[in-house]
Each structure stands twice: as structure tokens, then as C-alpha cells.
Amino acid sequence: MLHVITIRSPIARGSVRSIEFPSMPSGYRAILPGDIPGRNRIAAFAADIPILAREMVRYVGEPVALIAGPDPIVLESLAEMVKVDCEEEEPAFEWQSFSSSRVVAKRVATAGDPDLAFSITPAVHEETYRSGAMDYSYSEPQGAAAAYDYDKIAIWCATQWPYQVRDSVAQALGCRAEEVSVRPTRLGVHLDGKLWYPSLLACHAAIAAVACGRPAKLMLTRQEDFLYSTKGAQCAVSMRAALGPGNDLLAMDVHIALNVGAYAPLAEEMLSQAVLASTGAYRCPNLRVEGYAVSTNAPPLGAFGGLGAAHALFAIESHANRLASASGEDPADWKARNIAKKGSALMTGEVLREEPPYAQILERLAKASDYRRKHACYELVRKRRSGKSDGPLRGIGLAFAFQAAGQFMSGEKSGTYSVEVGLDKDLKVLIKTSAAAGGSGVLDVWRQTASAALGVPAENVRVAPADTDDSPNSGPITLSRGVTVVNRLVENACAAIQKRRFRDPLPLSARSAYRVPKPITWEDGRVRGSLFDAAAWAGAAVELEIDPWTLEPRPLGLWLCVDGGLIVSPERASSAMRSGCADALGACLSRRLDPGSGKASEYFRHGLPSLAEIPPIAVDFLKPIRKSPAKGIGELPFDTVPAAFLTAISQAAGARFSSLPVPSEDIVRALESA
């Protein structure tokens, strides 16, 4: 087996003039774009990404060549000696002010007459909320391996979408898709970072294997992964809001800038999600939202715990909390009054068919966290405080969010996703789906579903390891599809078997298919497609204290209440929500990335926060209403916790923070200027 190392662009923007390799010992060779048998491109959603950039490079670290050989340490020394000679152009890193040439996607939504509304209201509240630029900190290192297996080329990698890998590799090798066999390896926590990037690694391993005629394995060091692979996008949401006479939301003017880095495969989806979530679930009769996805010379920046709604929800919830406090009202009450009711038409023109369960969620959350009393108490302390030592530095914040269902991405080719279920003579069930690559959590859900539908014990239900030779294409595994789309397909396939079961002898198998709907499209500022049908809802409360010595925030408690519809496995779901909350809270405490800075030592400055910093987390699920389907809930911690945290730390410090993490020196300044 040969190891493979990537040779990368040293510049953020420009062209490659030449690549000079040192003399290679026997058994070591370089692999260049010319060695790619098929197309030197992968189709990653809406973007066309070079496998090995030949002329133009668009981010520091972009792959331009590979070297392969038997010893990885020798390879590493050789890689250090490679000279990539480039003609450098001025890179574009600025994304909050930009020229139209860098706009990759634009979305506008309007309602009523915001200009008029702003002109007649005295109090306008403005703020820009910044979020994002997160590292995925995957459970496992990234890489891929490729080898001939008789007449096929076998690929091993961890991926959210095995069929994407298969099609990319087939295209790169110029062979038929059936000649590529993708055998997904175990996938840890992915937070949506592995929707397409593994296809790039798989292509690298595949072309190396083909060029060298030997099995090839490419593993990124964590440092390389940190510096050069895809990261969570950066977002700035500028909000201007006007309150009407009853302190209700009268008008909003929102400007969203999303840094999507180079190539921007998911830009449209992310921007759409961000714009659509920018007013939360509040009624806003006069509205203008303008969103821009801006490309820069950072590595491709994409989804992180959801496609983009989290950025907007962070902004609207934080701003709503601030609007309420500015008029001396408890945000919980303000939100209760301003939330859209059943029958309201939202920004998209969609009419809400169900009442958002805000009241029930708030009631349980407030009870569990003692929010009302604490909020009032901490507000009092905040208002009276004149210095650091005047009372405890505590705060509590609430945030409310939804996770929209039925989102599809424009890069999903039209076609069908399917699942196959088989029931054998011994009443053992086998589920086949490419989504099995997604990890053990959701497998239990399918096993329960099949067990219930076919009346067999759950221990008798097995999910076949995902393998593109055998498992049908069930689409990309994002945080919600496993529980919703794929679960429904399992259910339907089982139902089909049940129908035939007492007529036809075992073994029986059935395939259930689902035509990929058109993605939510945007026409004339109106959206086609429903966002809120079967949306999941949640509220979070975060209480924290600022340590009087270090002035660092110390979370004291986190409460999450979720309306996730039918929860197939409550214990499993609670645990998943708690670990999601721990991740989301960790993100509030960790420093952000500077994507594209490419400074090698930055890698060492970013790590997961210590578990000791995570406070007790209480998760509560609302009882589902009858016939409620299972809903995707995985994104909800990221949609709620940051805004709740920002509000809590602002209250504790008596300041108005607008991004996370809050540097302790800013807390000092806020307290000293009180």
C-alpha cells in the first residue's frame, strides 16, 4: 500500500506556473492533473471543484498535486521540498463589504412598507450579529483509501453521501459508476462537514491508486484538515428593527452577508435558509431582507450543524431579547406576544397551519430553569450595579427556534431515493440503505420502526453496512433526514412487506422510493415550498456567571425544551440533544477561526472545550400531538443555545455583546464603564 500526501497551493489566489519536485527515491512518484484519467472536477452540489487545481488557485492549501510512496514520514519530507511556483494575485478575504462580482447568490424578501414604518417610529434598534467560522473537530481524522477489487475500484472513506463519492470517483476515473464500489467507514459526529469534501479525498486516493497500480491511502493530519479543508461559514446579520406603539415588532430591515469561501458548493441553500429564518417565527408586517453569499479566497465554507438557519436565528433571537429589554419587558412576554399565530402569513407567503408551540415550550422551560425569577433578579442587579463588586455577575437568556423540515438542496439531482427491506424465513429483517453510513444513532430509530411495523423484536432487525454495490441511494445524510425521510421509507417498505406477507411465502423484500422534490425555490421574492409543515420547535435557557477573578463566563445551567413530534427513542434523543448542547455551548466559549489565514500555528490554538466547563443540561420533550410524525431535531441546539448565551452574558456584564465568544477584556471594559 502506498501513502499519499497532498501538495498544496501556497497562495490564496493566482495561478500555478510550475511545480518543481525534488528527486524522488525509488517507489515514490508525483501525481499531476495530467494523470487524472477522467474529468478533473467534482460536482459538489452547485459548485464544480477541481480535483487538482491546474491553473487557477482560489485558496491557500488548495490541492495542486499529490505524491505517493511507501513511507509517510519520507513522503512528508519530500512534500516539504516541493516548490509550487505561482503568480500571485491580490486575494479577497473581505466579505462584509464586497463588489457584486463576488456575490455568488443573492436573496431578497419584502413585505409591507418598511421605509414608511421606519420613518414614523422614534426608536430604531440596530445591531450586527456575527457568527460562524467554526472548525468541525470531527471525531475521526479525514482521509480515503482506494484499491482495485477485481474489476472494480473500491473506495473507503467516511462520508455523509456514499453515492456522491461514487459518482465523483467514476467521473474522475472516466469509468462507469458501477465500476466504483464505495464502502463507507465509520462516520463520527460530522455536523454537516462531510456532504461533499470526502469525495475530493476519495478522488485523490483513487487517482493515486490508478496511477501507481497499488492500493493508496491518503490521510490528512489534523493540522492539514484544520487549515485546508472545508469549515463552517461566517455570517454577519445586520438588523434594524422598529417597534410600534405597543412595543410590538413593526418593521425590520435585515442585511445578511455570508462568507462562503472559494467555490461555495452550498451557498444558495445556506443563504436561503439564513434569509428565511431571519425573522424567526415573529410577525413582522413591514420587512426587507437582503442576503448575499460572498465568495472569498478562504477554503470552501459551508454548513455547520445545519445549512445556515442557525446564523439568522442567533441574530433574530438575540435582537428580540434586546428589543424587549430596551422597553423594560421580559423577553419571554415580548416573544409570546409577537410570535406568529396559526393562520398568519410569513415572509415566504406561507400560511402557518399550526400554532408554534411557543407557550408550552416557554412554560416548561421557565419552570425548569426558574427563568422568570432569575431574569428579574439579574436585571435588577444589572441596573443597580456601579462596579465589579456590586453583586453577582449573573445572567440568564432565552432563545426560541425552529428546524424547518423538507429541505432539499439544489445539487441533489432529480431522481429517487430509496430503501430496501427484507424479511427472511426466520423473521429476521435486513434494512439496506446508503444512509447507514451515517452512524449508529439513527440506525436504532430504523430498527425500532421496522420492529414495530413488522411485529418482530428489535434485536432481529439488522441494518446492512452501507455499500454502493448493495445499498440503494437514500440521499445525503444531513442531521434530520435519517429520522424523517429515510425512516419513512423504512416504514413504507415494511408496510409493503406486511401487505404481501400473509399471501406470499417468506423471504420477502420490498423497496420503497421517494421522488426527490424540487428544492425550495425562490421566485419573485416568494418561496415555493413549505418550511413550517412538520417543523420542529425548541426553546433554550442558558444561565451563567462571570467569574469575579478571571472574568470568564462560567455556564451554570442549560435547559432545552423540544417539540420534535414523535420521538422514537426518548433516551437516545435526550442524549443526542445533550451532546449537541454541549457542542453548541462549547462553540460559545471557543475562539472563532480566521478562515483562510492559513497560519500553521493556529491549529494548536483551537481545541474542544473541557467537559468541566459544561454545566448540567436538562432536556425535555413535549408530548407529541396525535399522528405527529418524527421530526428532525439535530440542529436545534445550534439554533437556540448561542442566542440564549449571548443574552445571558450581556445581562451579566451589563453590556450589549453581539458576537461570541466574548473576550474577557471586553467584559472588563463593560464592567469598568458601568
Partner 1 sequence: MRTSDVHYPRDLASALDLLRKRPGALVMAGGTEILREQGGRGISLPPEVVCVHELPELRKAGLTERFLEIGAAATLSEILELGESALPPILAEALSLVANPAIRNLATIGGNIACRARFMDAWPALACLDAIAELRDAGGSTWMNVNRLAGEDRRPAFPEGALVTRFRIPLERWDAYALKKIGPKDYPDPETAVFAFAARVEKGILSEMRLAFAGETAFRSNAAEARMIGLGVPLSEREREAAGEAFRADAAFLPEAQALRFGSLVDAALDLLGR
Partner 2 sequence: MTVSFILNGDDVSAKVRSADRLSDLLRDQFGLLGVHSDCRCGRCGRCIVFLNGRLVPSCLVPAFKARAREIVTIEGFSQTQEYRDIADGFRESGMKTCGFCDGPKAMAAAALLERKPRPVAGEILEYMSIVPCRCTDPEALVRAVQAAAESKARRLYRRADK
d(CA 320, CA 339): 11
Residue 177 in contact with partner 1, rule: CB under 8 A: no
Binder of partner 2 out of 20, 73, 90, 213 (CB under 8 A)? 73
Please tell me the chain's helix, strand, coil percentages from 3-state DSSP, rounded to the nearest 5. Answer: 35, 30, 40
- Residues contacting 193, CB < 8 A, separation 6+: 136, 138, 229, 230, 231, 232, 302, 303, 304
d(CA 658, CA 661): 9
Residue 543 in contact with partner 2, rule: CB under 8 A: no
d(CA 112, CA 73): 64
Phi and psi based region of residue 27 (left: phi greater than 0; alpha: psi -120 to 50; beta: remaining) = left
Residue 556 in contact with partner 2, rule: CB under 8 A: no
The least CB distance from residue 81 to partner 1, in Å, is: 11
Quick one: what does residue 617 bind among partner 1, partner 2, none, with the CB cut-off 5 to 8 Å set by partner type? partner 2
Residue with smaller CB distance to partner 2, 221 or 344? 221
Q: What is the CA radius of gyration of the chain?
A: 26
Residue 461 in contact with partner 1, rule: CB under 8 A: no
Angle among Cα 553, 556, 557 to the nearest 5 degrees reads 130
Residue 664 in contact with partner 1, rule: CB under 8 A: yes
d(CA 419, CA 401): 31
Closest to 49 measured CA to CA, from 264, 194, 271, 208: 264
The least CB distance from residue 326 to partner 2, in Å, is: 35
d(CA 84, CA 16): 7
Binder of partner 2 out of 41, 222, 388, 500 (CB under 8 A)? 222
Residue type at position 515:
R
The least CB distance from residue 548 to partner 1, in Å, is: 6
Residue 137 in contact with partner 2, rule: CB under 8 A: yes
Residue 170 in contact with partner 2, rule: CB under 8 A: no
Quick one: what does residue 327 bind among partner 1, partner 2, none, with the CB cut-off 5 to 8 Å set by partner type? none
Residue 599 in contact with partner 1, rule: CB under 8 A: no
Quick one: what does residue 191 bind among partner 1, partner 2, none, with the CB cut-off 5 to 8 Å set by partner type? partner 2
Q: E strand or H helix at 311, and its extent? A: helix 309-326
d(CA 490, CA 376): 49
The least CB distance from residue 139 to partner 2, in Å, is: 4
Residue 386 in contact with partner 1, rule: CB under 8 A: no
Residue type at position 120:
I
Quick one: what does residue 605 bind among partner 1, partner 2, none, with the CB cut-off 5 to 8 Å set by partner type? partner 1
Quick one: what does residue 601 bind among partner 2, partner 1, none, with the CB cut-off 5 to 8 Å set by partner type? partner 1
The least CB distance from residue 617 to partner 2, in Å, is: 7
Residue 344 in contact with partner 1, rule: CB under 8 A: no
The least CB distance from residue 608 to partner 1, in Å, is: 9
Site string for partner 1, 212-231 (x = CB under 8 A): ---------xxx--------
Binder of partner 2 out of 343, 517, 607, 663 (CB under 8 A)? 607
Binder of partner 1 out of 56, 74, 326, 506 (CB under 8 A)? 74
Peptide bond into 472 cis (omega under 30): no
d(CA 571, CA 95): 42
Binder of partner 1 out of 605, 616, 625, 656 (CB under 8 A)? 605
Specify whether the CB–CB gap between 88 and 15 falls below 8 A.
no
Q: How many whole angstroms from its chain centre is CA 19?
A: 36
Binder of partner 2 out of 244, 441, 465, 507 (CB under 8 A)? 441
**3-class secondary structure, 268:** helix
Binder of partner 2 out of 107, 578, 592, 631 (CB under 8 A)? 578
The least CB distance from residue 561 to partner 2, in Å, is: 17
- Residues contacting 372, CB < 8 A, separation 6+: 330, 332, 366
Residue 26 in contact with partner 1, rule: CB under 8 A: no
Residue 610 in contact with partner 1, rule: CB under 8 A: yes
d(CA 127, CA 238): 6
Quick one: what does residue 665 bind among partner 2, partner 1, none, with the CB cut-off 5 to 8 Å set by partner type? partner 1
d(CA 271, CA 290): 10
Residue with smaller CB distance to partner 1, 507 or 609? 609
Cell (9 digits) for 494? 415494511
Residue 76 in contact with partner 1, rule: CB under 8 A: yes
Residue with smaller CB distance to partner 1, 570 or 663? 663
Cell (9 digits) for 351? 400560511
Specify whether the CB–CB gap between 542 and 645 falls below 8 A.
yes
Phi, psi (deg, nearest 5) at residue 327 = -100, 20
Binder of partner 2 out of 610, 623, 672, 673 (CB under 8 A)? 610
The least CB distance from residue 1 to partner 2, in Å, is: 11
Q: What number of chain residues touch partner 2 (CB under 8 A)?
A: 35
Q: Which one of the spans 13-21, 74-82, 288-296, 634-642 is the region binding partner 1 (CB under 8 A)?
A: 74-82
Binder of partner 2 out of 608, 625, 656, 669 (CB under 8 A)? 608
Angle among Cα 437, 443, 445 to the nearest 5 degrees reads 145
Residue 174 in contact with partner 2, rule: CB under 8 A: no
Quick one: what does residue 88 bind among partner 1, partner 2, none, with the CB cut-off 5 to 8 Å set by partner type? none
Residue 70 in contact with partner 1, rule: CB under 8 A: no
The least CB distance from residue 669 to partner 1, in Å, is: 7
d(CA 447, CA 422): 12
Residue 582 in contact with partner 2, rule: CB under 8 A: yes
The least CB distance from residue 442 to partner 2, in Å, is: 11
- Residues contacting 97, CB < 8 A, separation 6+: none
Q: Which residue is listed with cell 488548495?
A: 62
Sign of CA dihedral 231, 43, 143, 298: negative
Residue 333 in contact with partner 2, rule: CB under 8 A: no
The least CB distance from residue 310 to partner 1, in Å, is: 24
Angle among Cα 551, 555, 557 to the nearest 5 degrees reads 155
Sign of CA dihedral 64, 70, 72, 77: negative
Residue with smaller CB distance to partner 1, 54 or 222? 222
Residue with smaller CB distance to partner 1, 345 or 608? 608
Specify whether the CB–CB gap between 227 and 600 falls below 8 A.
yes
Q: Which residue is listed with cell 462568507?
A: 259
The least CB distance from residue 552 to partner 1, in Å, is: 7
Q: Where are the alpha helices (DSSP H) in 418-541?
A: 440-454, 487-501
If you ran DSSP here, which 8-state letter would residue 392 be given?
-
List interacting residues with partner 1 (CB under 8 A). Answer: 72-77, 221-223, 388-389, 548-552, 600-601, 603-605, 607, 610, 663-665, 668-669
List interacting residues with partner 2 (CB under 8 A). Answer: 73, 137-141, 186, 188-189, 191, 221-223, 439-441, 571-572, 575-576, 578-579, 582-583, 603-604, 607-612, 614, 616-617
